[in-house]
Every structure is written in C-alpha cells, then in structure tokens.
Chain A
Amino acid sequence: DTLRYATPWPEGSIGADAAHFYARTVNEYSDGEMKIKVYPMSLLSASEASAGTRDGLTDVGFIFAGYFPAEYPHTNFLNETSMQLHRFSSEKVSDGRGVYAFQGAITEFIFFNCPECLNEYADQNQVYTSNAAASMYGLLCNSQITSKEDLVGKRMRVAGSNWSRWTSEFGASSLSMTINDLSEALGQGVIDCTISSAPELINLRLIDVITDITMNVPGGLFAGAGSTNINLDVWKDLSVDQRTVLLRAGALMTAEFPWQYVRQESVALQKAAQQGIKIHQADQALVDATAEFAQNDMKTIVSYYEEKYGLSDAEKTLSRFNQTLDKWMALVQDVDSKSDLQTLYWDEIFSKVDVETYGM
C-alpha cells in the first residue's frame, strides 16, 4: 500500500527532510508493508493542502491551520497564545525547551481536550495524527533593535496577529509579505525586519540580506499545523495495525519538527555570526514590556475568538491549556536528545490514543 504525502516545503528544507523521515519511519514500523510517496512542493501548495487532503488529491497532507481561519479556529486560538511562554523564566525555556513544551502541550490538548479541534479536522474530511512546530520567533533586521526606542517607526513583516499587535504596541508598523518577496524587501530596505524563526536565515536565504539579529523578543512560535493529516476515508480503510503505525510515526514526526528547527536555529545563528551579522540581546526594559504585553494580549485573543468565531468559554479553555503547558514545561526540562523527546511524546500523548475508535 502506497500513500501519497503532499508537503508544501521545497526539497532540502527541514519540512521536506521531515517528510522523507516520516516515509522511512512508516515503512520501517510496518515491516515494509506500507509505503509513503512524498511530493515536496510539487503536488499541493500550502493554500491548496487542506482542500486537497479533503478531496483525496493526497492521502496525507501538511496543513497550516493559520491559512484557514474559518476552518480551524480552535487550533488557531491555541497557537496564537504562544507568546505566553514569557510567563516562564528564560532559564526554563532555553535550549529549545520552550518549543518542546509548547509543542507537547498543543498536541496533547488537541488530541484529548479539544474535541472541537478534532471536529474541525473531521469536517474537512481529515484526521489529525501529528503536529509541527518551528523554533522561537525573533527579529531578523537591517539595523540594531534592542530597546523600545529602536522599535519606533520600524516596518516589520509579520506572519501572525499576535506579532502584529506587538509591533503596534511599540510604535512600529506591521505588514504582510509573501516569502517570495521577503529576501528582496529586506535587502533593499523596503522593510526593516521580519519576525521569523532563525532557520529562515538559511531556508529563505535571509542571511545574505540582513545585518542584525535579536532573538529574545518578541518570542512566541508557530505550532498551529497538522504535519501529517490523513484523509478520513483513507484512515477508515486502514487496519488497526496500520493506523497504529501511522500514530507511532506521527509521534516521531511531532518530535522531528521542533527538534530539527531548534538544532538548525543554532547552526543558522552560528553561521550568521561568522558572516559578521551582529547578534544582540534586547534590553531588560523591552523584555519586561514584551512579557507584560503578552499577558495582556491573552485577553485580546480570548475576546477576539469568542466574538469572531463564536468559541464558547475561550477563557476557560485557555486556563486549561495553560495548565497543560505548565505540566509540559516540567516534563521537558530533562530532555537531552531527540530520542528523549520522541519517547516523551509517545508516552505522554500518542500511546494514550485509542486506535480502535480514534477518527473512526
């Protein structure tokens, strides 16, 4: 049995490498019985992926929930709260542990505490079997930005509402831009910064066009993506053993994305430093103000999703999610290797999914 896996990532990127890793894993766990054929960037684009998986153009699809606010409001709601990682000490979230904790929390929450999330996927004829997350978002810029004063009047490219509100809070302006335009826009000074994860320095070749990096603000990350959503008809046709294989591979995939992103982050920053790009730390005043902003922003997010998408009792959902995140922050403190992370996600989340009934 060969399943098609469409991913919007180009060959050579972390996303495409992860897709090949997923294919190998599924093959191995099924003793060669199941095969995955990966289509990197060539079958469905990011904006086609959701409907393409729904209609069976692909069996497995990589779905950025953020592209589809009306389809996946519950997932997007959880994802948009990622700047609450400022609640934790920088000690606790360092070395990627903030990313691992958030990834664990959102995955567990979607599987077990957010039936609406799963329903949203089912409405799109899909079943959720893994989550993707990138590393922390920082400022990749053309000038030094370390204080509140530096931010005033700057033009920033952002890819999420929470970061957009952060820029206006500090007197900068935000604008959207597709990744095709990003490198030119930075190189020519159309914009001053992009708020992105550090691996984009390499993925999108931003390393050639920027001069200054500040990674400790604004923080937050992107984790609102089902990295291997499976077409529901395909899922229902699989045997229990086959579905188990896909969940086991899903657990590894859920570890793979954040692990590779965090690893790539240090590689990218090192390379940037070698090329003479200046790497700064934002001053304490800006860090504190950002943390305060993030805390207040949670109220904005709650009321926005309640009013706009009719989420019921979003505040309560958020406080339950916060507890899950607290639990995960404790769990990831001892993670030292990729296999630690894989084991943790399997033990705490995927092994608890009832394969007999899940998605059926």
Chain B
Amino acid sequence: MTDVQIGLTGLAILVVLISLRVPIGVSLIGVSFGGLWYLMGFNVAWGALGIIPYQFAANWVLSSVPMFLLLGFICYHAQLTQGMFRAARMWLSGIPGGLAIAAVFGSAGFAAVSGSSVACSAAMGRIAVPEMIKARYSPELATGTVAVAGTIGALIPPSIIMILYGIIAQEPIAGLFLGGISAGIITAVGYVLVICIRVKLNPSLAPSVAEKVPLSDKVWAFKDTWPVIFIMIGIFGGLFGGVFTPTEAGAVGAFLSLVVAVIKRSLTWERFRNAILETLLTTSALIIIAVGASLLTRFLALSGAGNYLAEWIIGLDASVVVVLLAIVLVYMVLGMFLEPIGAMLLTLPIVLPVINNFDLNLLWFGVILTKLLEIGMITPPIGMNVFVIKSVVGDLASTAAVFRGVIWFLVADIVILFLLMAFPEIILFLPSVAG
C-alpha cells in the first residue's frame, strides 16, 4: 500500500469502528496509533501518543471551553435563564415554534461572546433544550435546533477559527470578524425559517402556548430577564471595554453568573456542585475526542491522505465555479470526520494557493471556509456540536435523534452557503463600509 492508501484505509476503519458504537475518542486514538505504527513504525506511534494528548489539553485558549460550559451549567442549575425564556415564550407564543426561534436568537447573542461553536452549543443546549422539552417540543427539533444554532458561535465574532485563518492567510482579523457578522445573521434567519416551515408542516413538533397573554404581563416579563442581560452586558462590556480578552471571557462570565445567582438567592451548594460535576463530565468527554482528532490530523498529515484530497482539486484544471464546488465537496467530506481547526490547518497550505490562483477574495473565502467547517460540526458521523448537545441533554435524546433533528437545518445551511458564494457582497459589505 502507498502512504495515501494507508491513510484512506485508516479513515475507512475509523468509520466502521464508530458505526459499531465504539466510543469516538477511543476510535480516533486507536486508529491514529495503529495507522502511525503501520506507516512510520512503532517508535513514532509511541512518541505521538506520549506527546500530543498532554500538549493538546494543557492549553490556555482551550481553557475557555470548560469555562463557557460552566457558565452555561451555572445559569441552568441556578435558574438564571428561566425569566428570559418565560419572556420569550410570552412574546413568541403566537408564533409556532417560538421557543426554538428564541433559542436561535439566544445562540446568536451568545455567539457574540463565545469564540467557539462547541461552547455556544453547550451553553445554549443547557439553557434552551430542557425548556423546550418541558413545553413538549419534539426532542429532535429541540436538540437539532440548538446543535445547529451553536454554529453561529464561530461566525459571529469573536471566532477562534477566523483568528487562526487570519494568521495563516495574512488577512486582517478585524475584517474577517466584520464579514462574519452578516454570515452569522443570515444563518440565524435561515434557521428561523426552517423552524417556521417545519412547524407549519407538522404542528405537533412544537405545541404553541394557547393562552392569550395581556401586553402588560408581556412587558412585566422583561423584569425577570435581568440575570441573563446583566451577564451578557458584563461579558460584552468587559470584552469591548478592554477589561479582558476573549479567552478570559468564559471564566469571567462563569464568575458573573455565580455572583448573580448569589444575589438572586438561587444558588445552593447542591446546585453549584452539580454545575461543576457536569462541567467536568462534558469537558473530559469532549477533550478526549479532540485529542483523538488531533492525533488523526498528524496521521493524515504524515500519510498525505489529507493533501491527497485537496490536491485532487488542483488536478481538475477546471473553471472557478467547478473548483469552488470541489472545495466545498472536500470540506464537506473532511468535515464529516475531522475537528475543524485540524482540517483547516491540514488543507490551507494547499487550498490558499488555489484561491490566490483564481484571484478570489481571501476575506470572503475565510468566512466561507468558517461556514463550511461549521457545517462539519453538525454532520455525521463526527459532529462535535451534536455530541455536545447529546452529552448535555443526557437521556432526553439519542445521538441519532439529534442528527435527525439537524438534517433539515443542513438543507438551509447549504442554501445559505451558496447564497454567500454567489453574492460575495453579503460578506464583503460590512468590511468595505468600515475599511
């Protein structure tokens, strides 16, 4: 076998193991270790296993993930979010699927303080899914909505993916952030449309609240939204007022939520302990998968299988439209299996020259790439956002059910993607106005 064939075989074995319900982290680590051994010898595989897991986890930027998780868990256990959803329910009660729509807008708001879509999914999943289940929403709709809405987290700034892309492609990060805003908003609008259409077709998915709420009650309902608004203003204000960095925002947000819970007298020792323990479970379950993906990235890099998929594009010698479609295809396939940052690092050295070759706008492509990688976060078999939601909701829905809930939104995502590609002005408008 050639090296590339070894890499592709490894990917095939990976799919089989995961389908047989072997835990994803175990499958990734096992296949990468075996693959490296076969490809480079035992010593290299043994070395990689010793170096990469520790170095991956002992990471300052990654620390924002457990902290944003903790923020979400504290908000949920200390009942800080109930007021917001009571208000949302009152205001959106007339609209079928109102709670799911509120969850999408909630994610868009959360996205403005979260750099990664996993953290966004985790926090909103904790807040919104139980509320929807309580309102007797279909678990598929409830979990699917929050899993996809989390992807807005990497589109609306701050965004860890865009920061890394900006560094690699030498594009101003501020410009990428501005470009991401409209892409994020369009994505949110698209998801809201999907919810409306689905609920219209099948009203039993999201029973609407029947009672008529007087306007004064609706207005009064806002007074219970202060905890969330206070925390959001704290995070926003601190970030843009120069008090702390995006990485620190998670811990500060968690701390603020703790303060609010104490003020609201809704924090008990039991609830705090539960929030911490759930953060712990989710953190280690996620990091062991990310460690595996990081190992797989090295295996694919060394086997050349990752490059093989990307080089195939250049070999096509085709028009710009065909090449872009091929790029979309490659990232869809890579996104099925890989962790997005790994996939990006693996492919950018080859894809960027292609983009330059066709004289395409690098800022525009950065936002498109982010959108593509985020679609990968919700596609099977490895969709990190789906796994996060699954681990957050426990027995309320199976992983398969969450994936089924995602499918409808995936259609919208593809439409949005093509809109963004066909009309680059959507992305480039804000950066051009500002710059």
Per the CB under 8 Å rule, do A and B touch in the complex? yes
Asked if B244 is at the interface (CB within 8 A of a chain A CB), the reply is: yes
* Residues of chain A with a CB closer than 8 A to B247's CB: 178, 180-181
Q: Do A11 and B349 touch (CB < 8 A)?
A: yes
Q: Do A56 and B40 touch (CB < 8 A)?
A: yes
Complex CA–CA separation, A48 to B52 (angstroms): 7
Additional A-B contact list (7), CB under 8 Å, known A188-B242, A190-B243, A203-B167: A47-B55, A51-B47, A52-B51, A57-B48, A177-B245, A185-B245, A189-B242
Residue-wise interface mask of A (32-73) relative to B, using a CB-CB cutoff of 8 A (1 in contact, 0 not)? 000000011111010110011011110000000000000000
* Residues of chain A with a CB closer than 8 A to B349's CB: 11, 40, 42
Residue-wise interface mask of A (171-190) relative to B, using a CB-CB cutoff of 8 A (1 in contact, 0 not)? 00000011111011101111
* Residues of chain B with a CB closer than 8 A to A51's CB: 47, 50-51
Given A42-B345, A48-B51: A57 and B44 interface contact (C-beta under 8 Å): yes
Complex CA–CA separation, A179 to B348 (angstroms): 20
Q: Do B50 and A55 touch (CB < 8 A)?
A: yes
* Residues of chain A with a CB closer than 8 A to B348's CB: 11
Complex CA–CA separation, A183 to B176 (angstroms): 14
Given A11-B349, A54-B47: A208 and B174 interface contact (C-beta under 8 Å): yes
Q: Do A180 and B55 touch (CB < 8 A)?
A: no
Given A54-B47, A55-B47, A57-B44: A204 and B167 interface contact (C-beta under 8 Å): yes
Q: Which parts of B201-247 form the interface with A (CB within 8 Å)?
A: 239-247
Q: For the complex of A and B, list the 10 residue pairs with the smallest distance between their C-beta atoms, beginning with the closest.
A: A55-B47, A189-B242, A188-B242, A10-B168, A181-B245, A51-B51, A11-B349, A185-B245, A42-B345, A48-B55
- A contacts with B, residue count (CB < 8 A): 36
Residues of chain B having any CB pair with chain A under 8 Å: 40-41, 43-44, 46-48, 50-52, 55, 60-61, 158, 160, 163-164, 166-170, 172-174, 239-247, 297-298, 301-302, 345-346, 348-349, 352
Q: Find the A residue at minimum CB distance from B347.
A: A42
The distance from the CB of A265 to the nearest CB of chain B, in whole angstroms, is: 17
Asked if A12 is at the interface (CB within 8 A of a chain B CB), the reply is: yes
Consensus secondary structure, chain A interface: loop
Complex CA–CA separation, A184 to B298 (angstroms): 30
Q: Do B302 and A43 touch (CB < 8 A)?
A: yes
Complex CA–CA separation, A4 to B246 (angstroms): 35
The distance from the CB of B316 to the nearest CB of chain A, in whole angstroms, is: 22
* Residues of chain B with a CB closer than 8 A to A42's CB: 297, 301, 345-346, 349
* Residues of chain A with a CB closer than 8 A to B169's CB: 12
Q: Do B345 and A41 touch (CB < 8 A)?
A: yes
Given A54-B47, A190-B244: A12 and B174 interface contact (C-beta under 8 Å): no
Q: Find the B residue at minimum CB distance from A183.
A: B173
* Residues of chain B with a CB closer than 8 A to A55's CB: 43-44, 46-48, 50-51
Q: Do A45 and B242 touch (CB < 8 A)?
A: no
Asked if A205 is at the interface (CB within 8 A of a chain B CB), the reply is: yes
Complex CA–CA separation, A41 to B40 (angstroms): 20
Complex CA–CA separation, A184 to B173 (angstroms): 9
* Residues of chain B with a CB closer than 8 A to A178's CB: 60-61, 247
Complex CA–CA separation, A43 to B302 (angstroms): 8
Q: Do A45 and B48 touch (CB < 8 A)?
A: no
Q: Do A39 and B301 touch (CB < 8 A)?
A: yes
Residue-wise interface mask of A (204-238) relative to B, using a CB-CB cutoff of 8 A (1 in contact, 0 not)? 11001100000000000000000000000000000
* Residues of chain B with a CB closer than 8 A to A183's CB: 163, 173
* Residues of chain B with a CB closer than 8 A to A10's CB: 167-168
Q: Do A205 and B173 touch (CB < 8 A)?
A: yes
* Residues of chain B with a CB closer than 8 A to A180's CB: 61, 160, 163-164, 247
Can you report 18 residue pairs joining A to B where beta carbons are below 8 Å apart? A12-B169, A12-B352, A40-B349, A43-B301, A48-B55, A51-B47, A51-B51, A52-B48, A52-B51, A55-B46, A56-B40, A57-B302, A181-B246, A183-B163, A183-B173, A188-B241, A205-B172, A205-B173
* Residues of chain A with a CB closer than 8 A to B298's CB: 43, 57
* Residues of chain A with a CB closer than 8 A to B244's CB: 190
The distance from the CB of B4 to the nearest CB of chain A, in whole angstroms, is: 14
Complex CA–CA separation, A204 to B167 (angstroms): 6
